[in-house]
A and B are shown apart, each in its own frame.
Chain A
């Protein structure tokens, strides 16, 4: 049973900021929100993780509202190499149980 809902696909022009929103209405108290990036024929790789408010690293920012029922991955100034599938998942950060990836969002960056 999928625990997250994301748009199936998005297009963006190079240099723009891209925001991908994920819904997780049934998020549990112990669950963390994590985003992964996957290129064709490769396994997903970690982008960013958060529990609440805002997290930023060298690649992206993650915005989580107070009710934690959704989250938004923000990619600043995307380039063609950011074309990939982005997965939002929630899971029990302590045990690692119930880490479900869902269908992901296919981002296409256009020149």
Chain B
């Protein structure tokens, strides 16, 4: 089974702290994604990466950066955490191309971040 593992399930950080959310997948997927999920807003794409050292902005990249130094690992970075970044963060990965039967996006369990 595909496994997407997010390093921290629950975090509490102070305003202004630098926050790292780590994600690792074990299926050699090319694509990796970071979403945040908030009540009433659904899932919003922050960044995605289709290859090592490659990244593309999603809907809401402001206040975030990402790093993809190895194929299996995709990190989300909050350079200076703010209270409006309190949310659940979901990492996902997929093979390419996505239109091949059986290829789909696999999600991790989520990381609940509270910024106080």
Assess A41 versus B45: contact at CB under 8 Å? Given A96-B94, A99-B105: no
In the complex, the answer to whether A96 meets B107 with C-beta atoms within 8 Å is no
Question: Is B74 part of the binding interface, using a Cβ–Cβ cutoff of 8 Å?
Answer: no
Question: Is B21 part of the binding interface, using a Cβ–Cβ cutoff of 8 Å?
Answer: no
Give the number of A-B contacts (CB < 8 Å).
Answer: 76
In the complex, the answer to whether A101 meets B42 with C-beta atoms within 8 Å is yes
In the complex, the answer to whether A94 meets B42 with C-beta atoms within 8 Å is no
- B4 CB to nearest chain A CB (Å): 8
Question: Is A13 part of the binding interface, using a Cβ–Cβ cutoff of 8 Å?
Answer: no
In the complex, the answer to whether A44 meets B107 with C-beta atoms within 8 Å is yes
In the complex, the answer to whether A95 meets B43 with C-beta atoms within 8 Å is no
Interface stretch, picked from B63-71, B75-83, B96-104, is B96-104
In the complex, the answer to whether A95 meets B97 with C-beta atoms within 8 Å is yes
Considering only CB atoms and an 8 Å cut-off, how many residues of chain B contact the other chain? Answer: 30
Chain A, interface SS category:
loop
Which chain B residue has the least Cβ–Cβ distance from A32? Answer: B99
CA of A87 to CA of B92, assembled, Å: 15
- A39 CB to nearest chain B CB (Å): 11
Assess A93 versus B98: contact at CB under 8 Å? Given A43-B110, A46-B105: yes
**Inter-chain contacts of A49 with B (CB < 8 A):** 99, 104
Which chain A residue has the least Cβ–Cβ distance from B29? Answer: A96
> Which residues from chain A sit less than 8 Å from chain B, CB to CB?
1, 32, 34, 36, 41-46, 49, 51, 87, 91-97, 99-104
